[in-house]
Amino acid sequence: MICLCFIFFSLLNLSTNEGTYFNGIISHFGSSVKNIIASYNLANVSVGCKQFYMNYSNEIENIEKFVDSSTKIPSSIIVQNPYDLGDFDECMNINGEFNNEQFRGKYCLTILPSAMMKVARCVPSMCSNDDVANIFNETVIDSACYTYEKEHSLGTGAWITIALIIFLILLSIASSAYELYLLKNNGACKHDLLLAFSAVRNTKQIFQTKSANQLLCINGLKAICMIYVVFHHTTLLTLQYAPLNSIVDIGNIVSSKFNIYMFEVVLVDYFLFAGGLLVALSFMKNYDKNGKKFQIKETLMSFIHRYIRLTPVFAIVILFYLYLVEYFNEGPLHNVVYSELTENCEKYWWSALTHIQNFYNPGSNCLAQSWYIAIDMQLYVLSPFYLILLCKYPKFAKYITAILLIGAIAIPFCISYFYELPYAGHLYDPHHEEYIKYYYLPTYSRYGPYLLGILCGKFIYKIKKNKIEYKLNTVSCITVWILTLTVIMLSCLGPAILVNEEKNIIANSLYNSTYRILFPLAMGSVILLCITGNGNFVNSFLSLPIFQILTKLSYSMYIVHYAEIVLRVTSIKTIQKITRFSMTFDFFGDFIITCILSYFCVILFESPFMVIDKHLFSRNLKKKSNAEIENTIIISNIKYEY
């Protein structure tokens, strides 16, 4: 108790003498507030701003805080510290009166003319952005100037978005209460739609992991790749936006010989491979069920089903980006939230919802990571034409397949060579922008994994249908596994091998053109080994229940994780020391929060609309039992039963 009292009175004494305390510290370093302000260039400054500084006296309230919350001489300059953020909260909380007018603190980030370093400047609110530039002889980042806003009222779009979310939550509560009532009274639901929004039912389906009709290894691989996507974006956005204290530290991490942060550009191709595989399985099953006849109406309806299943979560997050995200963050890096999350959605929300933005506005995507959804949707629409050839005209399909496979290698090579692109999207290469626009986002340079997935799916369907066994002997099994793992490691470690080498356009082009074929082939080999009984402990690991749960959350995880990471990174208000440990620690926090957010997205938006879609469009729904519906495998929102 005595200690607490001592601390309290010490803090009280410090707060009442904060001006004396501050001046004492400043004078120790051979300066004073008056000398600092006297060094300001007031020649071309507006009248009100100039009067404030010209009439400076110790009686002006909070004058020390303007200096205290601004950048002085920053540390870590030798190791190229790119930031000094001052004290954002102290500046924003300044409140005083001058010439009978109230003023607040105004915080701005500026760029030093002698070095590309961002520093903090705190001035009275009567000073304009031009005044800040003239006073300090620095370039002002207009979007990074902030003043206190007494009222920050919600706009119409924000209220509509909130009302929609609240309505769906209330619908979920009502549906859940109805299901609990039925369970308590042993009643039967007369119409399944009444339980579509039930959190009880949707939660059970998420955590239901036992089913004899699932290719569990596919789920396991997808879950692992999704985990790594979150890890990659945690690293990427930290390096890109977080206020780090040393460019040298960033360079050391990026140039590591074993750079695990670059794997994502390779692993993301598994999503396309799995999408093609499951499309082929579903198509082949329906093709046989319809007497080897192609049903045009059924195919067109499948496009509608897919759009309905993809859109609800996607649309809700777009609304969040447009109308709510600005209220979830404040700090010196708040301008990044707008430029990274909101700005592109204001312009291109329609191309995002129509899945054409990887062509119409490449590099300016609404939801930066949604390029994959656009590519997957485009390939899904095109896939029936190729599958018809495989089924009806197999000889002709062989020639088409050969041409497509050659194109899947030649097109990326030519693009990489012509634009002198780096390997795996190296962040600091001068051609990184061209890499994203011409190589990373277009469907014509991305279709290779999807094509291989279709071929693998057709082969798996043949194995399952004809009950063919491919049990390998021990030596053959070990040999195939070694070759498979070698290809996977070479594909993933290619960037790490090239990272410190002198730029070689031929080597980069060869890598960029081959890993999108070799890596999917290796992943297909893993799947085939697992489903044919040659997977051993690998199959057991990939079939773990936790991976089956994460797979059901994976689509929502993919949609929501990026915004969560951006909001966390841009909420940082002080300089950070970056290490591999700190980024790994941040990843676990991002991953847990992403899983929680994804769970709510699934039970509120994703699962309910899948049930509604089935009831509205499925002709055979009444013939299916609830168990059959629940055992439907949903990966990339494709259903497959066998």
Hey, what are 406's tokens?
Answer: 């050659």
What does residue 260 show for φ and ψ, rounded to 5 degrees? -70, -10
Q: Using DSSP bridges, classify how beta strands 101-111 and 95-98 pair: parallel, antiparallel or unpaired.
A: antiparallel
Burial degree of 323 (CB within 10 A; 0-12, 13-18, 19+): buried
The Cα 62–Cα 102 span in angstroms is: 12
pLDDT along the chain (642 residues), means of 10: 48 49 50 74 86 69 78 65 82 84 88 79 90 89 81 84 95 92 78 86 88 80 93 85 62 56 77 94 86 79 89 95 87 81 91 93 89 94 93 91 96 93 69 86 94 94 84 89 91 69 80 92 94 88 93 95 92 78 88 96 93 73 40 38 40
DSSP state of 112: -
Question: Which of 118, 516, 482, 542 lies closest to 335 in space, CA to CA?
Answer: 118
Hey, what are 186's tokens?
Answer: 């042993």
- Contact status, residue 206 vs residue 549, Cβ threshold 8 Å: yes
The Cα 306–Cα 374 span in angstroms is: 12
Q: Cβ–Cβ contacts within 10 Å for residue 365, how many?
A: 22
The Cα 294–Cα 395 span in angstroms is: 18
The Cα 533–Cα 217 span in angstroms is: 11
Q: Cite the DSSP H helix spans in 199-289.
A: 199-207, 216-241, 247-254, 264-267, 269-289
Give Cα separations from 388 to 283, 284, 394, 613 (angstroms). Answer: 9, 10, 9, 26
Instruction: Supply the pLDDT for residue 491.
Output: 85
What are the residues whose beta carbons fall under 8 Å from the beta carbon of 625, sequence distance 6 or more? none
- Contact status, residue 272 vs residue 446, Cβ threshold 8 Å: yes
Q: Is the dihedral of CA 48, 49, 51, 52 positive or negative?
A: positive
Q: Where are the beta strands (DSSP E) in 54-208?
A: 83-84, 95-98, 101-111, 118-124, 139-147
The Cα 549–Cα 637 span in angstroms is: 15
Phi-psi region of 83 (alpha: psi -120 to 50; beta: other; left: phi over 0): beta
Tally of CA atoms within 13 A in the half-sphere of 529 that contains its CB? 27
Hey, what are 399's tokens?
Answer: 């020639």
The Cα 125–Cα 138 span in angstroms is: 18
Determine the distance from the C-alpha atom of residue 367 to the mean position of all C-alpha atoms in its chain, rounded to a whole number.
8
The Cα 583–Cα 586 span in angstroms is: 5
Instruction: Supply the pLDDT for residue 334.
Output: 83
Is residue 87 classed as helix, strand or coil in its secondary structure? coil
DSSP bridge pairs for 123: 106
